[in-house]
Amino acid sequence: MVLEDKIEAMIKPSIEALGFELWGLEYLPAGNHSILRIYLDKPAGITVDDCAEASHQISAILEVEDPISNAYRLEVSSPGLDRQLFKSEQYPTYEGEEMQVRTGSPVMGRRKFKGKMLEVLPEAIVLEVDGEEYEIPFDEIEKANVVPQFGDNRKKN
């Protein structure tokens, strides 16, 4: 089991008991400067107090379970406007939005994409980048973020 999956299984019940959704987490190993970043969400949005409350709970669980052997810093926050997408189930909500995607290996000759997400398929997303469509399999996506739209650039429904 991947470390992130193990940590998710440990903390998810407590986070949900607090009324939050575990949006995602990432572990960035860097020796004694490693970071465990946990993103939470809820319909009304996450506040600083929510993060502090969740951080206290998560710290207690990680202290007991000790899944990470070296020193690390715990960060708890909201996903923000440029939210990173961690699971395929999160993508359909953002269909039609501008996305920034990085892949682990080249897809049609490139690894970085920025464009409109046209469609979410069972195993991939379809992005339109500079007038060209790219089908990017979920298992190739290393990182995907929603590109925030402000003012007149917002999507019109």
CB 115 within 8 A of CB 98: yes
**Token pair recorded at residue 80:** 């923000």
Query: Of 109, 120, 114, nearest to 143 (Cα)?
Result: 114
| pLDDT tens track, the chain, 157 positions | 689 999 999 999 999 999 999 999 999 999 889 999 999 999 999 999 999 999 999 999 999 998 988 889 999 999 998 999 999 999 999 999 999 999 999 999 999 999 999 999 999 999 999 999 999 999 999 999 999 988 755 454 4
For residues 67 and 121, what is the distance between their CA atoms, to the nearest angstrom? 34
What is the model's pTM?
Answer: 0.85
Phi-psi region of 152 (alpha: psi -120 to 50; beta: other; left: phi over 0): alpha
Q: What is the pLDDT of residue 96?
A: 96
Note the CATH architecture for domain 3-77.
Answer: 2-Layer Sandwich (3.30)
Q: What is the pLDDT of residue 76?
A: 96
For residues 97 and 114, what is the distance between their CA atoms, to the nearest angstrom? 11
Note the CATH architecture for domain 88-150.
Answer: Roll (2.30)
For residues 81 and 79, what is the distance between their CA atoms, to the nearest angstrom? 7
**Token pair recorded at residue 31:** 């020796």
Strand partners, 133: 128
Q: What is the pLDDT of residue 152?
A: 58
In the chain, where are the structural domains located?
Answer: 3-77, 88-150
